[in-house]
Chain A
């Protein structure tokens, strides 16, 4: 059995003393957390360890002794050995290091049945070496013969770890439940032990406590004034913000704003959607309770950072737009742009009313549809011209809402596009409905042509004997619809293409809003700058492989892959996802059903 000892790097040069840590059950390994130095009173040490056990919830014990003798400090070994009687343990580790040498040496003393400690040889044998490399401590020790070739050779491996990094790091995949200590694997237990022993690291060498320890913080506790100030200030700020948010949500859900038309309009405008979504976010961030689990903390941090970045980008945009009267220029180009679009549409309709691409259309129907749509465009242009004096003012005030974030500016752009291309949407709906009616009529009349009908109960086609007048009128209608199909289909095709262009543009905007909302900036920042905090696993490299000393490995943290970071910490949003697969979309287009390719997945259920 290999005995693994996890040894913190900060204790490599520590003075002699006691090792404090934890045995990991079932794995034959030990995690060393700190070294308690002389002078100490054993009773106080026991009391302190008991106290720490209660505070941290970790099963701390004294693991053994550590000796790094300086000049003039001989005779410690026997003293250290006697300590094992004071702190009764199942296994007692005796680690020693000599100045100038890299490798450690380790003796393990186990209690046999008589209660006496028996030293066992725990030395690493090199490959091919038959050497018995036992260190002979002073005289009179009972040694168990280290056999060559027979019996098991117990090995010791020292795994060095950087205590600060392991303490701050979080191992992925994150287990959300309470892990069973017996079945949990070794690495999460090691990480968990170090992480939970944080109260152990509060005493540094300047404190006047009962014991003197060496650990990663013993040179002095880390802290920064800004962080402390922010922590102090955060609670009242959070309370204030929460109160304001409750006020805002109660206002939003008041009766006036919940009337049918307002609800309908606000569900269609993406700006309102984004507003409600951000409110929800802020409520999560500003809740006064501290985040306990790692997931909650990361979610809060991500939301806060992305909100901050969003608002700063929005402010940047606003400051750029409102300089040099750019808003006025924008407003002045808006009306001519709408005019231009209308003129292009008119030309398109004139082309359709002629012989488009050499296709022969039914002249009468062509003229009717063309004139109808032209009249619509005329109405629309009059409406735009009516609104033109007010556009600049509206734009100025509405543009101020971009202060709330870049996402708001993008949602606003999407809404403005939707409003300006409303006539294209109307044309699409008319064309689609007409085409849909034609297709359904044709399919039903085709069944009549063959003498069959659709059985709604059985959902199948049955034969049917029709009356004479039914047959007659049915055939007439079938003929008419069949010959009018090309004309209707062409109008439908043209307007669907226009509508799809607009939808694609809006889709791009929504996707970018979604991206800004959900991208975990904080997690990415951590991954780039403090990559040890998000760990996927560990890697080992060999530090020292001298014959006669145990193997020393250095445990380095393997950071989480970037794609896993994004996937794990993505904030769930009302994500904009395509509602139908490509095949279903094509089928809907063919049949003339109205398509709404992007659907918002709401987190709330209305």
Chain B
């Protein structure tokens, strides 16, 4: 038989082609046969999203945004003097107790000994928080006195944005460091901009510094909203998922409503944002799945499956 030249349309020599390079074969080096790209896999591991499941997960993001909005509403109320700090403080403490009770009620069935120990350490933590916050309030209230108001607002906005971006949406229970710290920083900035007690300032000096009670209240609420609420939320999600969904909706409504009572335009904007995040973005995600085009094959980098058990005998 004559030698074959090129494209492989003619039947090749009797020797079959093997995909090896260490043997001299009668084919050119870049020859491929019919089995070319047999091992190509397209869009492996593609998940099929269901719309309502994604919406439910997106609800957490919307919930967090409305939490922030709620916090800002409280601040606005205190700033405009519509709510006195003592009222807010007692409300906060009550909410904290209620939340704690709910948290313990929803706890998974363990031994009661563990519960006692946890309760004692919880009490310790709470007392540390309260004493420290109360101790530092006089310092904190005059911290940003010399900084311009616009700078304070800009810093607050930046920090709250960082909080939203860095929030651990997958598992809110141990709060992420950056998100919590950013939120607390923002709350301290805001707390220093509250108007002072009319009795203390005497109405004479132009820059009235907030009283310690204002600052204390603000910080307690920040702790509640940003540090303790996600823990409860995690518990709810674990134990009763449908309640979780209802709670998200409730928080969203409260947020919009609260903002609306002071600034209707803001409420409209917030509602639009929530709607986009909850309803529009999942739709976008699902629609764009069809444009996915990933290819995998034996040419990919090897992934080491970390299975060291066979070393441990």
Give the nearest-CB partner of A480 in chain B. Answer: B139
Given A468-B125, A476-B188, A480-B140, decide whether A360 and B147 contact each other with a Cβ distance below 8 A: yes
Q: Tell me the bound Cα distance from A449 to B132 in angstroms.
A: 18
- Are A466 and B132 within 8 A (Cβ)? no
B174 CB-CB contact with A under 8 Å: yes
* Cβ of B228 to closest chain A Cβ, rounded Å: 9
Among B170-194, those with CB < 8 Å from A are 174-178, 180-181, 184-185, 188-189
Query: What 1/0 mask marks residues of chain A from 469 to 495 whose CB sits below 8 Å from any chain B CB?
Result: 101111110111001100000000000
Question: What is the bound-complex CA distance between A131 and B181, given in angstroms?
Answer: 106
Tell me whether A465 and B129 are in contact (CB under 8 A): no
A451 within 8 A of B: yes
- Whether A363 sits at the interface, judged by CB under 8 Å, is yes
Interface string of A440-475 (1 = CB under 8 A from B): 000000001111000000000000011011011111
Bound-state Cα–Cα, A448 to B180, Å: 11
**B136 and A476: CB pair below 8 A?**
yes
Question: Are the CB atoms of A451 and B227 closer together than 8 Å?
Answer: no
Query: Chain B contacts of A303 at CB under 8 A?
Result: none
> Residue A56 at the B interface, CB < 8 A?
no
A519 to chain B, nearest CB (A): 55
Task: Give the CA-CA distance A468 to B180 in the complex, in Å.
Answer: 9
Known A-B contacts A465-B174, A480-B136; A471 and B181 likewise in contact (beta carbons under 8 Å): yes
Residues of B within 8 A of A475 (CB): 180-181, 184-185
Q: A449-B178, A475-B180, A479-B140 are in contact. Are A362 and B132 (CB under 8 A)?
A: no
| B184 neighbours in A (Cβ, 8 Å) | 472, 475-476, 479
Within 8 A of B (CB), among A419-446: none
Residue with the highest number of chain A CB atoms closer than 10 Å, among B128, B129, B181: B181
Is B140 in contact with A472, judged by CB distance below 8 angstroms?
no
Judge if A361 is at the interface, Cβ distance under 8 Å. Answer: yes
| A362 partner residues in chain B, CB cutoff 8 A | 142-143, 145-146
Question: How many Å lie between the Cα of A484 and that of B145 in the bound state?
Answer: 11
A contact residues around B223 at 8 Å (CB) = 472
- A471's contact among B139, B175, B189, by CB below 8 Å, is which? B175
Which of B129, B145, B176 is A363 in contact with, Cβ under 8 Å?
B145
What is the interface residue range for chain A against chain B?
A: 20 to 34
Residues from chain A with Cβ under 8 Å of B146 in the complex:
360-363
Q: Are B181 and A449 interface neighbours, CB within 8 A?
A: yes
B201 at the interface (CB under 8 A from A): no
Residues of A within 8 A of B84 (CB): none
Does residue B56 face the partner (Cβ distance < 8 Å to A)? Answer: no
Contact B145 A449 (CB under 8 A): no
Instruction: Name the residue on A nearest B227 (C-beta).
Output: A468
Residues in A with CB closer than 8 Å to B132 are: 472-473, 476
Size of the chain B interface, CB-CB below 8 angstroms: 27
B234 within 8 A of A: no
Contact residues in A for B181 (Cβ distance below 8 Å): 448-449, 471, 474-475, 478
Which B residues are CB-close (under 8 A) to A465?
174, 177
Tell whether B208 is near chain A: CB-to-CB under 8 Å.
Answer: no
Can you name the residue of chain A whose Cβ is closest to the Cβ of B183? A475
| Number of interchain pairs (Cβ within 8 Å) | 73
A468 to B185, CA, bound (A): 15
Task: Give 1 or 0 for each of B128-142: 1 = CB within 8 Å of chain A CB.
Answer: 110011001001101
> Do most interface residues of chain A lie in helix, strand or loop, or is the interface mixed?
helix
Tell whether A364 is near chain B: CB-to-CB under 8 Å.
yes
Chain A nearest CB from B137 CB (Å) reads 10
- A473 and B129 CA atoms in complex are apart in Å by 8
Chain A nearest CB from B238 CB (Å) reads: 19
Contacts of B176 in A (CB 8 A): 451
Docked Cα-Cα span, A361 to B133, in Å, equals 23
Among A364, A466, A468, residue most surrounded by chain B Cβ atoms (within 10 Å): A468
Question: A416 CA to B136 CA in the complex, in Å?
Answer: 45
Task: Give B160 Cβ to nearest chain A Cβ, in Å.
Answer: 14
Contact B143 A479, beta carbon cutoff 8 Å:
yes
- The answer to whether A448 touches B177, judged by C-beta atoms less than 8 angstroms apart, is yes
Complex contact B177–A449 (CB within 8 A): yes
Q: Would B188 and A479 count as touching, CB distance under 8 A?
A: yes
Q: Within 8 Å CB of B147, what residues of A?
A: 360, 483
Within the assembled complex, what's the spacing in Å between the Cα atoms of A473 and B177?
Answer: 12
| Minimum distance in angstroms from B76 CB to a CB of chain A | 21
CA distance A466 to B125 in the complex (A): 14
**A471: shortest Cβ distance to chain B, in Å?**
5
Q: How far is the CB of A473 from chain B (nearest CB, A)?
A: 6
**Residues of B close to A360: CB separation below 8 A:** 145-147
Bound: A476/B135 CA distance, A: 11
Contacts of A478 in B (CB 8 A): 181, 185
A450 cross-chain contacts in B, Cβ below 8 A: 177-178
What is the distance, in angstroms, from B2's C-beta to the closest C-beta of chain A? 68
What are the residues of chain B within 8 A of A469 when measuring CB–CB?
Answer: 125, 128-129
A466 to B175, CA, bound (A): 9
Do the beta carbons of B125 and A471 come within 8 Å of each other?
Answer: no
Residues of B contacting A364 in the complex (Cβ-Cβ under 8 angstroms) = 139, 142
Complex Cα–Cα for A164 and B103 (A): 109
Q: Which residues of A contact B177 (CB under 8 A)?
A: 448-451, 465-466, 471
Q: Which residues of A contact B133 (CB under 8 A)?
A: 476
Docked CA distance A480–B185 (Å): 10
CB-CB under 8 A from B189, the residues of chain A are: 479
CA A256 – CA B313 in complex, angstroms?
72
In the assembled complex, the Cα of A448 lies from the Cα of B182 at a distance in Å of 11
CA distance A478 to B185 in the complex (A): 9
Contacts of A484 in B (CB 8 A): 143
Per the 8 Å Cβ criterion, residues 273-313 of B in contact with A are none
List the B side residues contacting A449 at CB < 8 Å. Answer: 177-178, 181
A360 to chain B, nearest CB (A): 3
Q: Considering the complex, which residues of chain A in the window 532-584 have a beta carbon less than 8 Å from any beta carbon of chain B?
A: none
Distance, CA A479 to CA B175, complexed state (A): 19
Chain B residues closer than 8 Å to A448, beta-carbon distance: 177, 181
Task: Please give the distance in Å from A339's CB to the nearest CB on chain B.
Answer: 34
Identify which of B128, B129, B145, B177 gathers the most chain A CB atoms within 10 Å of its CB.
B177
User: Closest CB of chain B to A353's CB: distance in Å?
Assistant: 14
- Nearest chain A CB to B211's CB is how many angstroms away? 15
| Interface residues in A360-376 (C-beta closer than 8 Å to B) | 360-364
CB distance from B10 to the nearest CB of A (A): 63
User: How many Å from the CB of B154 to the closest CB on chain A?
Assistant: 15
Given A451-B178, A474-B181, A480 and B128 contact (CB-CB distance below 8 Å): no
10 interchain pairs (CB within 8 A)?
Answer: A360-B147, A450-B177, A450-B178, A468-B125, A472-B223, A475-B185, A476-B188, A479-B140, A479-B185, A480-B140
Cβ-closest 4 pairs across A and B: A360-B146, A451-B177, A475-B184, A483-B143
20 more CB-based (< 8 A) A-B contacts, given A360-B147, A480-B136: A360-B146, A362-B142, A362-B146, A363-B142, A363-B145, A364-B139, A448-B177, A468-B125, A469-B125, A471-B180, A472-B184, A473-B132, A474-B181, A475-B184, A475-B185, A478-B185, A479-B143, A480-B139, A483-B143, A483-B147
